[in-house]
């Protein structure tokens, strides 16, 4: 694991309410590295994040809005947040419903810039 990957994940997981973070491949949702709390199903979350990024990306480009820079999926029991990290990866965070979305988004964007 590259040192910048670990530093990016560490900063994100320090935000109160974040259950974990990971770097996944954008194309197939494979986990490059992760920092997850026990009970978080990393493989399922990684696959979901990659699939969402592809589908939302295609729809966004087709609509003329361009490539998405931030994905936010709000569920009943938590949130999934993702940002592109370079051309072929996503930086993903899983968090509690009451997490400070703005702070997590800021740390995701900073982390994505560090791992490019």
**Per-domain boundaries in the chain:** 3-115
Q: Which residues of 69-93 are buried (b: 16+ CB within 10 A; e: fewer)?
A: eebeeeeeebbbbbbbbeeebbbbb
Cβ distance 107 to 24 under 8 Å?
A: no
CB atoms within 10 A of CB 13: 20
Question: In this structure, which topology does domain 3-115 adopt according to CATH?
Answer: Beta-Lactamase (3.30.450)
**Per-chain mean pLDDT for the chain:** 93
pLDDT of residue 2: 67
Among 2-11, 18-27, 51-60, the range scoring the smallest mean pLDDT is 2-11
pLDDT at 7: 87
* Exposure b/e, 25-37, CB count within 10 A at least 16 = b: ebeebebbebbbe
pLDDT at 79 over 90: yes
End-to-end CA distance of the chain: 14
């Amino acid at each position: 694991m590259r040192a910048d990957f670990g530093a990016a994940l560490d900063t994100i997981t320090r935000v109160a309410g974040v259950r974990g973070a990971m770097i996944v491949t954008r194309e197939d949702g494979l986990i490059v590295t992760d920092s997850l709390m026990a009970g978080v199903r990393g493989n399922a979350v990684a696959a979901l994040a990659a699939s969402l990024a592809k589908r939302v990306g295609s729809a966004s480009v087709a609509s003329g809005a361009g490539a998405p820079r931030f994905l936010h999926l709000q569920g009943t029991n938590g949130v999934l947040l993702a940002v592109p990290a370079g051309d072929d990866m996503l930086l993903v965070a899983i968090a509690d419903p009451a997490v400070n979305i703005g702070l997590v988004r800021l740390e995701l964007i900073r982390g994505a810039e560090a791992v490019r």
